[in-house]
Chain A
Amino acid sequence: MVYCIGHSIISPLGEGSLANLEAVRTGRSGLRMYDHRFADVEPFCASLFDEPQAFVPLCIRSVEMAVNEQSMLSSKDTVFILSTTKGDNLDLWTPAQTIAEHFGNPNPPVVVSNACTSGVCAQITAKRLLEAGLYKYAVVVGCDIQTRFIVSGFQSFKALSPEPCQPFSPERKGLNLGEAAATIVYTSNPQPTGWRLVAGSIHNDANHLSAPSRTGEGAYRCLTDVMTGVKPTDIDLLGVHGTATLYNDAMEQTAIERAGLQQVPISALKPFFGHTMGAAGVVETILCMLQAEQSFVKMLSGFGGVNAAIRMLCE
Chain B
Amino acid sequence: MEQLIEQLKSQIIDALNFEDMTPADIDTDAPLFGEGLGLDSIDALELIMLMDREYGIKLADPKAGKAIFQSVRTMAEYIQANRTK
Query: Chain A interface (Cβ within 8 Å of chain B)?
Result: 156-158, 208-211
Determine whether the beta carbon of A156 is less than 8 Å from that of B49. yes
Map CB proximity to A onto B37-53 as digits: 1 under 8 Å, 0 otherwise. Answer: 00011100100010000
A188 to B78, CA, bound (A): 63
- Asked if B34 lies at the interface with its beta carbon under 8 angstroms from chain A, I say no
**Known contacts A158-B62, A208-B40; can you find 9 more A-B pairs with CB under 8 A?**
A156-B45, A156-B49, A157-B42, A157-B45, A158-B45, A209-B42, A210-B41, A210-B42, A211-B41
A157 to B49, CA, bound (A): 10
Contacts of B40 in A (CB 8 A): 208
Contacts of A157 in B (CB 8 A): 42, 45
A235 to B7, CA, bound (A): 59
Contacts of A156 in B (CB 8 A): 45, 49
Contacts of A210 in B (CB 8 A): 41-42
**Nearest-Cβ distance from residue B40 to partner chain A, whole angstroms:** 7
A234 to B56, CA, bound (A): 57
Contacts of B62 in A (CB 8 A): 158
How many residues in B have their beta carbons less than 8 Å from beta carbons of A? 6
Greatest chain A CB density within 10 A among B42, B49, B62 is at: B42
A202 to B48, CA, bound (A): 34
**Nearest-Cβ distance from residue A86 to partner chain B, whole angstroms:** 19
Residues 16-43 of B contacting A (Cβ, < 8 Å):
40-42
**Nearest-Cβ distance from residue A156 to partner chain B, whole angstroms:** 6
Contacts of A208 in B (CB 8 A): 40
**Nearest-Cβ distance from residue B57 to partner chain A, whole angstroms:** 15
8 shortest A-B CB distances, which residue pairs?
A: A158-B62, A210-B42, A156-B45, A157-B45, A158-B45, A156-B49, A211-B41, A210-B41
A156 to B48, CA, bound (A): 9
Closest B residue to A211 using CB positions: B41
A104 to B45, CA, bound (A): 47
A17 to B40, CA, bound (A): 41
User: Could you name 5 residue pairs across A and B whose Cβ atoms are closer than 8 Å?
Assistant: A156-B45, A156-B49, A158-B45, A158-B62, A208-B40
**Nearest-Cβ distance from residue A160 to partner chain B, whole angstroms:** 12
**Nearest-Cβ distance from residue A172 to partner chain B, whole angstroms:** 15
**Nearest-Cβ distance from residue A305 to partner chain B, whole angstroms:** 16
**Nearest-Cβ distance from residue A252 to partner chain B, whole angstroms:** 19
A154 to B45, CA, bound (A): 11
Contacts of B42 in A (CB 8 A): 157, 209-210
A156 to B45, CA, bound (A): 7
**Nearest-Cβ distance from residue A4 to partner chain B, whole angstroms:** 39
